[in-house]
Structure 1
């Protein structure tokens, strides 16, 4: 099984609302998730996190600690290994771009009402990483 390294960003604002994006492409098209994607050749995780957040949301982030890692089956027998990091927005303007059709900060109740990607809510619950 081919392993595909991916990263995600847990970005909270000052009210501890969580930054989410609506996926414009497969996998998970039309579902809400956190910003993230594949680690490109030659990138380390923090570089990939910062690039993906910028591409999908227009925001510049400082990448912090690793929050957790999950594995998800992908198409063609691939295994996505996803490492999610804390990140703090330090600049830019929030606007959906690249693989995202929408991007916004959400409260816990807003987040729980969204159609999210597989196991996102339960994973963030396990990590004590749900929005405030």
Structure 2
């Protein structure tokens, strides 16, 4: 069995709005998540996160403290990922519809108000509670991997 995949993700609140990304070309699916991605060997989690955020959004960030550990898996193919979320702040840049993810993974990026999250499909389920909380580190138990055609619990 392969080890779980490790990813770093950013919770970025700017003007009390949360930055989320969509990684489905052509608006194929409406699932949103916090920006970030898989870690590369021989680089720290914060360094990996800075690289991923710049690739996906064009923003430069300062990485703060961890605030959430989330696990998800697909028992059918034994896929298992552990996401570590960090509170982050923007230090340079602004979102632009013209920005192109060099890896062509993220196709849309946008800030959402807390009340907009109620009508939004997102993962993990605890995302808004953690993002707008001032508490310490949270842990989400193992969630099933959601495929684009599956119904979502979070927000919808």
TM-score of the aligned structures, taking structure 2 as reference length: 0.70
The residue aligned with 2:153 is: none
The residue aligned with 1:85 is: 86
Q: In the TM superposition, what whole-angstrom CA distance separates every residue of 1:13-55 from its partner, at most 9, and x where no partner exists?
A: 1x21101111226xx9541111011001111110111111111
Give the CA deviation at 1:70. 1.3
The residue aligned with 2:148 is: none
Root mean square deviation of aligned Cα: 2.2
Gaps (5+ residues) in structure 1? none
1:78-117 to 2 correspondences below 5 Å: 78-95=79-96, 96-98=99-101, 99-117=105-123
Q: Which has the larger radius of gyration?
A: 2
The residue aligned with 1:130 is: 132
Measured in 1, the distance between the counterparts of 2:29 and 2:39 equals 20
TM-score of the aligned structures, taking structure 1 as reference length: 0.82
Give the CA deviation at 1:103. 0.7
Alpha carbons 1:36, 1:52 under 8 Å: kept: yes
Alpha carbons 2:117, 2:128 under 8 Å: kept: no
